[in-house]
Amino acid sequence: MNINEKLILKKPELIDGLEVNELISNSPPLDTNSLYCNFLQCGHFADTSIVAKLDGDVVGFISGYLIPERPETLFIWQVAIDKQARGLGLATRMLLAILARPNNAQISFVETTITPDNQASWSLFRGLSKKLSCELTHDIWLDKQTHFRGEHESESLLRIGPFNISE
Q: Look up residue 101 and give its amino acid.
A: R
Does position 166 have pLDDT exceeding 70, yes or no? no
Strand partners, 54: 57
Superfamily of domain 3-160 in CATH is Gcn5-related N-acetyltransferase (GNAT) (3.40.630.30)
Distance between CA 140 and CA 157 in Å, rounded?
A: 6
Does position 1 have pLDDT exceeding 70, yes or no? no
Does position 167 have pLDDT exceeding 70, yes or no? no
Distance between CA 166 and CA 85 in Å, rounded?
A: 28
Q: Where are the domains of the chain?
A: 3-160
- Taking the whole predicted model, whether its pTM rises above 0.85 is answered as yes
Query: Residues 38-50: pLDDT tens digits?
Result: 999 999 999 999 9
Per-residue pLDDT at 30:
85
136 SS3 class: strand
62-78 average pLDDT score: 97
19-25 average pLDDT score: 97
68-90 average pLDDT score: 96
